[in-house]
């Protein structure tokens, strides 16, 4: 079949490829034109279009065309060196990448070339901001970023995803997840604090609580327990991790078992609103108070390792307890699960309700109890990491009060259910 056959080049498909390749070429080229570069919008658009067309014709044509683009790049840099004594290295690489993105479009890809074009344009447009950010980096910050990549992308994939002991207690990859989570929270905390100052503590606490409230509390407790830290700010931030955990567990239940959300909403919302009132009061008292929250390092292996070890011990003890006492009951397991991961326990309860393994009322009660347990387990961890008796006492009082409120509302709901059931 000839190369000009419409069967080989369907008009509608080719038109779409032409539009995508021109669009990404114009996107990058407009930024280069705005930056007053020799290679501007037309050059980049033509380069992307060339990559698309030659990929349709075959690999030899694409390689020849790439060689032509490289010749253009060499000429432009030679002229720039001769007249201005500088190289157009960034623009040259951008043009070569744009050609390659055009080739991908010709091969039928859409998401990859478009996403890469957007990222490429952002990197080119944020030249000043990236230089300022890179210039202000400290050596320990760069090391921490490398360490985070090592923990998350090098060590985690090579760990065995199976139990390595005869009692089926320790799965290395599952255990390492908590290390990755804590290290990531610590790094994000550092960035937020550097960008937003004291306000970053609240962002960090809430976002960290959505991921893992216990890990977020453990990571924040150390610096918040320092003598120069405001007690009101520390209390407000650590309570926010609990609020975020309540919100997350309710959302999980609503997504997977909407029939159970009504029963769980009253006690969990009562605790959440109570915590928010305490946060708001502490925040109002702390307005005008500023302090510099110093983290020794964005990612500390010692701090992360200590918490991961504690987490692993809790997990092993809970698992052994469940096996020893058999099916002590779903509610007892929910409490034990809250000591480890209330998110996982809430998801398990919701799925059991969805599959009719338990009734919605039992599932809702399980989510409430796992949320209570998750809030309580933070206290000894905060006490251990903060080493601040005043902070620990106030947090203990507030948390116990929240638990009493939650249990009271849950008890009233149970009494209402019993009273309303047919005799």
Question: Would you call 420 helix, strand, or coil by DSSP?
Answer: helix
The rounded distance, in Å, linking the Cα atoms of 277 and 203 is 17
pLDDT of residue 342: 81
What pLDDT digit, counting tens, does each position of 30-71 carry?
Answer: 999 998 888 889 999 999 999 999 999 999 999 999 999 999
**Range in 28-32, 76-80, 227-231 the model is least confident about:** 227-231
Q: How large is the angle between the packed helices 41-57 and 11-34, nearest 10 degrees?
A: 150
pLDDT at residue 325 tops 90: no
Domain spans in the chain, listed from the N-terminal domain onward: 11-132, 137-420
Any residues with CB less than 8 A from the CB of 156 and at least 6 apart, and which? Answer: 173, 176, 177, 180
Give the model's pLDDT for residue 417.
Answer: 62
Is the pLDDT at 3 greater than 50? The verdict is no
Task: Give the model confidence (pLDDT) of 364-377 as tens digits.
Answer: 888 889 899 988 98
- The answer to whether 170 and 178 are in contact (CB under 8 A) is no
Q: Tell me the pLDDT tens digit for each residue of 326-354.
A: 445 667 877 877 877 787 778 777 877 88
Q: Which of 154, 147, 157 is nearest to 183 (CA)?
A: 147
What's the pLDDT at 19?
95
Contacts of 6 (CB under 8 A, 6+ apart): none
Which of 92-96, 148-152, 224-228, 279-283 has the least mean pLDDT? 224-228
- What percentage of the chain carries pLDDT values higher than 90? 24
Kindly indicate the confidence band of residue 171, based on its pLDDT and cuts at 50, 70 and 90: confident
DSSP at 137: -
Rg of the chain's alpha carbons, rounded to an integer?
Answer: 29
102-121: pLDDT as tens digits: 999 999 999 999 999 999 99
* Whole-number pLDDT of residue 4: 45
Report residue 21 as tokens: 């390749």
Q: Does residue 292 carry a pLDDT above 90?
A: no
Is the model's pLDDT at 185 over the cut of 70? Answer: no
Structure tokens at 130: 């990236």
Q: Cβ(147)–Cβ(184) under 8 Å?
A: no
Average pLDDT, the chain: 81
Q: What is the pLDDT of residues 123-169, one digit of tens each?
A: 999 888 777 767 666 777 777 778 888 888 888 889 898 888 888 87
> Which of 199, 207, 391, 193 minimizes the C-alpha distance to 294?
193
C-alpha to C-alpha distance for 351 and 356, rounded to whole angstroms: 9
Q: In 3D, which of 223, 230, 221, 227 has the Cα closest to residue 288?
A: 230
Q: Out of 137-146, 296-305, 366-375, 393-402, pick the least confident.
A: 296-305
Name the H helices within 197-300.
Answer: 199-224, 231-256, 261-286
């Amino acid at each position: 079949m000839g190369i000009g056959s419409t069967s080989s080049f369907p008009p509608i498909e080719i038109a779409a490829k032409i539009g995508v390749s021109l669009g990404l070429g114009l996107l990058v080229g407009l930024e280069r034109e705005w930056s007053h570069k020799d290679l501007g919008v037309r050059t980049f658009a033509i380069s992307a279009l060339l990559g698309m067309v030659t990929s349709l014709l075959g690999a030899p044509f694409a390689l020849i065309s790439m060689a032509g683009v490289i010749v253009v790049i060499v000429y432009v840099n030679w002229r720039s060196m001769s007249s201005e004594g500088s190289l157009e290295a960034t623009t040259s690489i951008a043009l070569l990448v744009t050609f390659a993105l055009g080739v991908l479009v010709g091969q039928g890809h859409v998401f990859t070339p478009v996403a890469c074009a957007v990222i490429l344009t952002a990197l080119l447009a944020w030249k000043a901001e990236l230089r300022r950010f890179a210039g202000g980096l400290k050596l320990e910050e760069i090391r921490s970023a490398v360490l985070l990549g090592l923990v998350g992308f090098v060590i985690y994939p090579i760990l065995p995803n199976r139990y390595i002991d005869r009692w089926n207690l320790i799965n290395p990859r599952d255990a390492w997840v908590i290390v990755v989570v804590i290290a990531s929270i610590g790094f994000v905390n550092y960035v937020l604090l550097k960008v937003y100052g004291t306000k970053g503590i609240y962002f960090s606490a809430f976002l960290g609580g959505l991921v893992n409230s216990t890990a977020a509390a453990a990571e924040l407790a150390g610096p918040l327990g320092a003598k120069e830290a405001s007690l009101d700010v520390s209390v407000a931030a650590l309570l926010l991790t609990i609020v975020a955990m309540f919100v997350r567990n309710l959302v999980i239940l609503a997504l997977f078992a909407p029939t159970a959300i009504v029963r769980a909403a009253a006690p969990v919302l009562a605790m959440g609103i109570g915590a928010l009132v305490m946060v708001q009061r502490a925040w109002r008292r702390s307005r005008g108070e500023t302090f510099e929250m110093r983290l020794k390092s964005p990612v500390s292996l010692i701090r992360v390792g200590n918490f991961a070890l504690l987490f692993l011990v809790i997990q092993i003890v809970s698992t052994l307890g469940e096996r020893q006492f058999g099916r002590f009951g779903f509610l007892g397991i929910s409490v034990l699960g809250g000591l480890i991961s209330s998110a996982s326990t809430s998801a398990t309860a919701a799925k059991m309700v969805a599959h009719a393994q338990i009734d919605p009322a039992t599932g809702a009660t399980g989510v409430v109890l796992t949320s209570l347990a998750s809030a309580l387990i933070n206290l000894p961890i905060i006490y251990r990491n903060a080493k601040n008796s005043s902070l620990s006492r106030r947090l203990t009082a507030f948390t116990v009060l929240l638990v009493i409120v939650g249990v009271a509302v849950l008890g009233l709901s149970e009494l209402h259910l019993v009273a309303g059931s047919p005799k």
